[in-house]
Amino acid sequence: MIASERTRYIISRLQDKGIITFKLMAQELQVSESTIRRDFEKLEKAGKLRIVPGGAVLTGTEDTSKLSRLFEYENISNFEIKKKIAERASRFVQDGECIFVDGGDNAACLAPFLESRNIRIVTNSGLFVLSLNVQPVELVFLGGNYYIDKGFSAGNLYQQALEKFHFDRVFVGCSGVNLKENAVYSQSYDAMSVRNTAMENGEHSYLLFDSVKLNTRGFYKMGSLSDFEYIICNECPELSDRPSNLITT
């Protein structure tokens, strides 16, 4: 496809969606992201769009910082799989409850399924907070050391505050799951500490992970699969030895 055809296609898709990413356009047009970036730059000079981190929005679109954060959310790896896992997990939540959502990608995908609920939410996930379009009845984002590259808060100050809460339900992710060892892993000590503290203060705990985490290890052993009331994952052949508390989407 020649450059003029690409630009017409890009504008058409932008008018449909209002927001498009380099990655999406490169896939649909079967060209490199660098080629798409050059196309976007030409269209921006022509006043047709505005480039934001990750992609572009229509010229005149307000709050491009919010749109750029949505790029980050929608560019989560295995996004569609994680959305299905999150949707299934959200069915456990009842009105009036207080829940904890941790900083992993799987847990962050709960945002659109919880944002209109009559619930209280405590979280350390910046991505979860920024992905909400409607604020729940009460949203508590606890302070502490914020890790920009990981998108969550942790540390001693966070731990001290977290210990004051009681949760009806706790939703956490992980960096690896080993079925044979009945083990759940975390790559970060801070992330492990936050998750374990929340689980200790929760009535019901749920582990959310996609199948790429299966049969992998992290640096820290967070606990065992039996520590969770339910573990929720997408279906895959490696789940032949199914734990009794496993739910697949």
pLDDT (0 to 100) of residue 64? 47
Please indicate whether residue 77 or residue 11 has the higher confidence score (pLDDT): 11
Work out the angle at residue 22's Cα, subtended by the Cα atoms of residues 18 and 23, and round it to the nearest 5 degrees: 110
Q: What is the percent of the chain where pLDDT is above 90?
A: 39
Average pLDDT over residues 44-55: 80
Distance CA 237, CA 149 (A): 33
Higher pLDDT, 97 or 237: 97
Is 60 exceeded by the pLDDT of residue 62? no
- pLDDT interval class at 69 (50, 70, 90): low
Token pair 């991505």: residue:
127
Sign of CA dihedral 195, 118, 108, 135: negative
Residue 120 has pLDDT above 90, yes or no: yes
Q: How confident is the model at residue 219 (pLDDT cuts 50, 70, 90)?
A: confident
Please tell me the pTM assigned to this model. Answer: 0.73
For the chain, give the mean pLDDT: 85
Bigger pLDDT: 240 vs 108: 108
The pLDDT score that the predictor gives to residue 110 is: 92
Cα–Cα distance between 243 and 223 in angstroms, integer? 15
Q: Are 191 and 161 in contact (CB under 8 A)?
A: no
**Chain position carrying tokens 């709960």:** 110
Predicted confidence band of residue 205 (pLDDT cuts 50, 70, 90): very high
Residues 170-189, mean pLDDT to the nearest whole number: 91
Kindly indicate the confidence band of residue 173, based on its pLDDT and cuts at 50, 70 and 90: very high
